[in-house]
Amino acid sequence: MPVLRVVLLWHQHQPFYKNLVTGEYRLPWVRLHALKDYYGMVKLLDEFPRVHQNFNLVPSLITQIQDYVAGTAQDPFLYVAARPARDLSLDERRFALQYLFQANPVNLIGRYPRYRELWERFRSAGDSPERAEKFFQPQDFTDLQVLSQIAWFDEFFLEDKDIAALVRKERNYSLEDQRFVIQRERELLGQVLPAHAAAAKKGSIEISTSPFYHPILPLLCDTNVGAVSSPNLPLPQNRFRHPEDARDQILRGLDLHEKVFGIRPQGMWPSEGSVSEEAIAIAHESGVRWMATDEGILGRTTGQFFGRDNEGRMAGNLAEKLYTIHRYEKGSTAMHLVFRDHTISDLIGFVYSGMPAAEAAQHLIQNIKKAAQPILDKGQDAVVSIILDGENAWEYYPKSGRDFLRRFYDALQKTAGMEAVTISEAIERQRNFGRLGSIFPGSWISANFNVWIGAPEDNRSWDYLFHARSFYEQNAAQASEAQRKLAYEELLIAEGSDWNWWYGPEHHSANDRDFDELYRKHLSNVYQALGATPPDYLAQPISGIVARPSFTPQTAYIHPRITGDMIRYFEWMGSAVYTADHRAGAMHGKQFLLDSVHAGIDDKNVYGRLDFKGKIPEMQFEIVVSLESWAEGETRPRRALRLDAVVRDRKLAEWKVRPVDEEAALESSERPGEGAARLALVRNFEFRVPLAWLSAAPVSSGDSKGAKSPAVTRLRLRLSLWQNRLPVDALPLEGWIELHLLEEGELMSQY
């Protein structure tokens, strides 16, 4: 009987938050995620001995966990959480209010009534630490300090009788309670790495690695590779080429894993699934035997797009291509390659959190079986690889998704003909490998590197890194060994992918400034370690020092849920992005109310998201979305729609979608249809409109040629905000945002 092998790889990663010179941690997420996710994800497998998995631990994450366990981490967030409330200074109280509410409001804050009560008090003060501070008494701060830590405790840790007793207490915590929680944190953090080592020793997991500080290996080897995956991509002024650094990052990662876990890793998830032929060759020379990346890389390598039907299944020949282990061979380089199923992986990351656990687990099992069925029907084994972030997704699930995972794992080990294996086990049991003689350079995001290079902020950061690296080469020989070692370590840290993740138009968070300052601090430390004064430009923010790019096109289909709240970067990844330049003039009164628009299509709908600059205005206003569909050669739009949304008291009061110059609505808040259109407003405004209403559908680029009635090939949209019947702001101020109506494969191949 053919066997369906399921490869699950959980990638555990956090940026390097530590300043090596001061020893201070800029952000607390290593400690908090180590408390919440890393231990329990491995410990859960004790209940399912036949479910084998892969855990990819980034080396720089390991060293930071070790720092906390040793008690040497200088964490100002932990310091404020541990300090007696009556001793907190004004700045410390405001610091606590700014950072101790940075948690999922439903599944972390909302789980504890007193924590939610304090959070709502903070929000009622406009989310402003300065305004909210006067409404918090010492007991409020003590309760906040305790609950903000417990909220991040793993489900297994919450079963501890002493911790469970604190949870039952709910409020009015004492200084002794506070001290107990802080002391217990260090003990719990000390269980994380031993749990992985024990699981690996008994064979239930395989531990793989990434380059030490999580750099994008192909870009370290040569930043010009960015224009290979995205022709005409703007590149930094200075070409960064340091394959020797890529080799060092890999070898350091392998060495640390061997030291910590007692065995040298066989495999690697290269940072962000980023591969190139040069990077693979270096990994091979370093002793890596397998690497994992995304199906998009395989698609661009082979010229095949792995499209799915309405049920999420691929054609048999495509499934046969994807659901196997590949062997890449070129010259003296050989590497086993695993390509993740993008669609199934994203279901776990973004969809199943909104479903009942039993239903989600059953849907996942059936999805895996249906995906592999064309191969199994031929009597051949199939390997379905599911690879995703192993930490952030669980904030969106009740109780960290444990009910969902237990039901999924139980079904995995009970389903006949299905086995969950490590990647090394899958390679060992594979009979015939897919053969590759080349590899297309790219990452797991749209099979290119555009998140990390190309935007003005990204390119500026690369230029700063180039100058620091050149300064090191020119001056290291004259420095002491200790100075050289510190300067080089800071360079390796600055090569990490996380800094550029937050530069450019794609991603923004409440901690953008922290990441920017920490990146520039690492570069400044290079100069200071070598006895020099850092360049003046490192004192200036990279974010916002030049106008943000006004527009980036859509590169992949999107399928976002329309909630208007808790924006998830990945659901809008691949969308077109128009970002306002707030230095430009406004339409009325020089007010700047709108920040950016995300827009995109899938095969059925057009989606849009409007982000405000700051908070939603308090006064009544109207959002107008103008949508037009256009065919090549025609002088008028094929169809034009207007979406009107009235906002009162920061809430969506009423809305309607109608054809331009007609009063009758296709749908409205008074007469909604069967969910064809959807609008939402909480922290941002989002909408979904069927393409059919615009007489549009994705087409192949050749469909319009020679046709009597050319097909609609593009959409245009514009969003504006009106107050008192006057246009106050709009994106774009002039012209339109354009979306190309292409089938997904053609859309992706353009970028």
CATH at residue 625: 2.60.40
Q: What pLDDT is recorded for position 583? A: 44
Report the pLDDT value the prediction gives residue 565, as an integer from 0 to 100.
79
pLDDT mean over 47-73: 97
Examine the domain organization and report whether 224 and 145 are in the same domain.
no
Last residue of a domain, one of 505, 532, 559: 532
Using a pLDDT cut of 90, give the percent of the chain over it.
75
| Residues 516, 573 within the same domain | no
Q: Give the pLDDT of residue 352.
A: 87
Confidence of residue 685 (pLDDT cuts 50, 70, 90): very high
The one-letter code for the residue type at 178 is Q
Q: Mean pLDDT of all residues in the chain?
A: 92
Average pLDDT over residues 478-488: 97
Q: At what angle do helices 243-261 and 59-70 cross, to 10 degrees?
A: 50
pLDDT over 80 at 739, yes or no: yes
Whichever domain contains 292, its CATH number is 3.20.110.20
User: How does DSSP classify residue 584?
Assistant: S
| 348 and 219 within one domain | yes
Q: Residue 123's pLDDT is what?
A: 86
Q: How confident is the model at residue 509 (pLDDT cuts 50, 70, 90)?
A: confident
275-289 mean pLDDT: 98
The reported pLDDT for the residue numbered 359 is 93
Tell me if 155 is assigned to some domain.
yes
Q: How many domains does the chain have?
A: 4
**pLDDT at residue 346 is higher than 90:** no
Question: Above pLDDT 70, what percent of the chain?
Answer: 94
With respect to residue 174, please indicate whether it lies within any of the assigned structural domains. yes
Q: For 56-70, 109-123, 534-548, 655-669, which range has the lowest pLDDT when averaged over its residues?
A: 534-548
The pLDDT value recorded for residue 733 is 72
Rounded distance between C-alpha atoms, residue 642 and residue 665, angstroms: 10
The Cα-based distances of 672 to 225, 349, 659, 681 in angstroms read 49, 30, 16, 17
Distance CA 616, CA 629 (A): 30
User: Residue 7 in contact with residue 384, Cβ under 8 Å?
Assistant: yes
CATH number reported for the structural domain that contains residue 474 in this entry: 1.20.1430.10
3-class DSSP state for residue 304? coil
Last residue within a domain, chosen from 142, 167, 193? 193
For residues 166 and 247, state if they share a domain: no
* Domain, as residue range, for 564: 551-749
Q: Could you tell me if 244 and 363 lie in one domain?
A: yes
Looking at the fold, whether 174 and 236 belong to one and the same domain comes out as: no
Least confident of 127-136, 219-228, 434-443: 127-136
Q: In the structure, what pLDDT confidence band is assigned to residue 428 with cuts at 50, 70 and 90?
A: very high
Lowest mean pLDDT among 374-378, 542-546, 679-683: 542-546
Is the pLDDT at 620 greater than 80? The verdict is yes
- Residue 5 in this model has a pLDDT that exceeds 80: yes
- Please give the pLDDT value at position 408: 98
pLDDT for position 569: 65
Is residue 22 one of the residues assigned to a domain? Answer: no
Measuring CA to CA, how many Å separate 173 from each of 105, 380, 429?
A: 21, 60, 55
Is it the case that residue 227 has pLDDT exceeding 60? yes
Decide: helix, strand or coil at residue 678: strand
> Is residue 65's pLDDT more than 80?
yes
Q: Are residues 407 and 466 in the same domain?
A: no
pLDDT above 70 (res 702): no
Q: What pLDDT, on a 0 to 100 scale, did the predictor assign at position 424?
A: 98
Mean pLDDT lowest among 369-373, 384-388, 585-589: 585-589
pLDDT at 726: 59
What are the tokens at 548? Answer: 């943000």
Note whether 413 and 271 are same-domain residues.
Answer: yes
pLDDT band at 589 (very low <50, low <70, confident <90, very high): very low
Lowest mean pLDDT among 123-127, 371-375, 713-717: 123-127
- Judge if 503 and 370 occupy the same domain: no
Return the pLDDT at 701: 63
Question: Is residue 124's pLDDT more than 70?
Answer: yes
Parallel, antiparallel or unpaired: strands 326-330 and 434-436 = parallel
For 89-93, 342-346, 347-351, which range has the lowest pLDDT when averaged over its residues?
A: 347-351
734, pLDDT greater than 80: no
pLDDT at 9 over 60: yes
Structural contact between residues 686 and 560, judged by C-beta atoms closer than 8 angstroms: yes
Inter-residue contact 83 to 92 (CB < 8 Å): yes
Query: Are 598 and 731 members of one domain?
Result: yes
From edge to edge, which strands make up the β-sheet containing 678-681?
551-552, 576-579, 594-601, 605-612, 685-690, 678-681
**28 located within any domain:** no
Q: Is residue 445 part of a domain?
A: no
Please report the pLDDT score of residue 504 as a whole number: 82
593 in Cβ contact with 580 (< 8 Å): no
Q: Which of 420, 436, 452 is the last residue of a domain?
A: 436
pLDDT attached to residue 48: 98
Out of 160-164, 646-650, 722-726, the most confident range is 160-164
pTM given for the model: 0.83
Hey, is 737 helix, strand or coil?
strand
Q: What would the mean pLDDT of 78-103 be, rounded to a whole number?
A: 97
pLDDT in tens, 292-316: 999 999 999 999 999 888 677 899 8
406 has a pLDDT exceeding 70: yes
Mean pLDDT within 327-332: 98
Q: Do 495 and 380 share a domain, yes or no?
A: no
* Per-residue confidence (pLDDT) for residue 165, from 0 to 100: 98
Reduced to 3 states (helix: H, G, I; strand: E, B; else coil), residue 2 is coil
Is residue 494's pLDDT more than 70?
yes
pLDDT at 20 over 70: yes
| 42 located within any domain | no
The pLDDT of residue 747: 82
**Whether pLDDT at 549 is above 50:** no
Show the DSSP H helices in 241-356 as ranges.
243-261, 277-285, 295-302, 316-322, 342-346
The CA distances from residue 514 to 17, 132, 343, 542, 621, in Å, are: 10, 22, 33, 12, 33
The SS3 call for residue 526 is: helix
Question: Are 522 and 561 in a shared domain?
Answer: no
110 within some domain? yes
